[in-house]
Amino acid sequence: MTEEPDLVAAYGYPRAAWLRLNMVSSADGGAWLKGVSGGLSGAGDKRIFGLLRGLADVILAGAATVRVEGYGPVEPRESWRALRVGRSAAPPIAVVTRRLDLDLGGPLFADTEPSARTIVFTTEAAPKDRRREAARSAEVVVAGDERVDLVRATRELRARGLGRILCEGGPRLNAQLSAAGLVDELCLTVSPLLIGGDAARISNGIAAQHALGLAHVLEEDGFLFCRYVREGA
């Protein structure tokens, strides 16, 4: 980015009820390198990743992403202060999981602020003892029998005043959100790397076709930062 654009203006949420996906991929479409996304990222991507967190009411993630990427509570940043007037200092994390195979004693559960407790969307099929244990430190919402109904989960978030949803993946969760027609926007960083291998694309699973309009594309150090909005969103 030769001239620093006004990123807050460029990434402001258009509405109070809006679901944004933020993902990074290699130039040949892979969503991870050596099992994690970090190797695909760069300085500009990290800046935008941080800003998008500061703008969001809540961060939604699939359980595999939480496990593999070692999610903890979001650390508030001084630069977010003005963005977050009237909201918690940092957005809570909302995890989607059927099995509840998460580190329930770890930082994502034990170290959250009361205003930003972790939210767990799970199913009737989840082991009852795990549900009880999670409920000691997190807000547990049962939103389906065998699978979390994502329409219901996003409705639950909106009912809590958490309508600006930032989904950080992973690809299997993204595909379901897309199939349910819930994705309003895709922020995609294209990393200048060819990686081959068998990494999934950023949306992996059930097929769903949506036309996107390109709202902007920025560039820094060969990385492209694309913001797409779903037609009709």
Ligand X SMILES: NC(=O)c1ccc[n+]([C@@H]2O[C@H](COP(=O)([O-])OP(=O)(O)OC[C@H]3O[C@@H](n4cnc5c(N)ncnc54)[C@H](OP(=O)(O)O)[C@@H]3O)[C@@H](O)[C@H]2O)c1
Residue ranges that bind ligand X, judged by CB under 6 A: 23-25, 31-32, 35-37, 40, 62-65, 68-69, 96-99, 101, 123, 147-148, 150, 168-173, 176, 204
Closer to ligand X by CB, 88 or 189: give it: 189
Name the minimum Å distance from CB 168 to ligand X: 6
Name the minimum Å distance from CB 23 to ligand X: 4
Q: Which residue is nearest to ligand X (CB)?
A: 170
Residue 113: CA atoms inside 13 Å, Cβ hemisphere, count? 11
Tokens 């099995």 locate to 99
Closer to ligand X by CB, 87 or 152: give it: 152
Closer to ligand X by CB, 41 or 87: give it: 41
Name the minimum Å distance from CB 64 to ligand X: 3
Query: Are the C-beta atoms of residues 169 and 62 closer than 8 Å to each other?
Result: yes
Name the minimum Å distance from CB 223 to ligand X: 13
Name the minimum Å distance from CB 92 to ligand X: 17
Name the minimum Å distance from CB 25 to ligand X: 6
Name the minimum Å distance from CB 191 to ligand X: 9
Closer to ligand X by CB, 49 or 233: give it: 49
Q: Which residues pair with residue 220 across a beta bridge?
A: 223
Closer to ligand X by CB, 16 or 194: give it: 194
- Give the CA distances from residue 50 to residues 13, 43, 90, 92, in Å, rounded to whole numbers and listed in that order: 15, 11, 11, 14
Closer to ligand X by CB, 116 or 166: give it: 166
Closer to ligand X by CB, 13 or 121: give it: 121
- Three-state SS letters, the chain: CCCCCCHHHHCCCCCCCEEEEEEEEECCCCCCECCECHHHCCHHHHHHHHHHHHHCCEEEEEHHHHHHCCCCCCCCCHHHCHHHCCCCCCCCEEEECCCCCCCCCCHHHHCCCHHHCCEEEECCCCCHHHHHHHHCCCEEEECCCCCCCHHHHHHHHHHCCCCEEEECCCHHHHHHHHHCCCCCEEEEEEECCCCCCCCCCCCCCCCCCCCEEEEEEEEECCEEEEEEEECCC
